[in-house]
Amino acid sequence: MRSSAKQEELVKAFKALLKEEKFSSQGEIVAALHEQGFDNINQSKVSRMLTKFGAVRTRNAKMEMVYCLPAELGVPT
């Protein structure tokens, strides 16, 4: 697979994970991406992606602090 296509898949998977609003740490996001086959991902890469997409930590419906994307950057439904 081309590098750019793999990068696009990573971004799509990353945004989908954040939309779930259940990841409270960057380590949990790394583990979830590893489970999806993105082996070359680490905490520093996740940190850069969170910054790039403007992700913030907020409370979910269960009142847990989790990472999520601003509404305008969420995955379209």
What domains sit in the chain, N to C, each tagged with a CATH number? 3-73 (1.10.10.10)
Q: How far, in Å, CA of 47 to CA of 7, rounded?
A: 16
pTM of this structure: 0.85
Residue 2 binned pLDDT confidence (cut-offs 50, 70, 90): low
Phi/psi zone of residue 11: left (φ > 0), alpha (ψ -120 to 50 degrees), beta?
alpha
pLDDT at 17 exceeding the cut of 70: yes
pLDDT of amino acid 58:
93
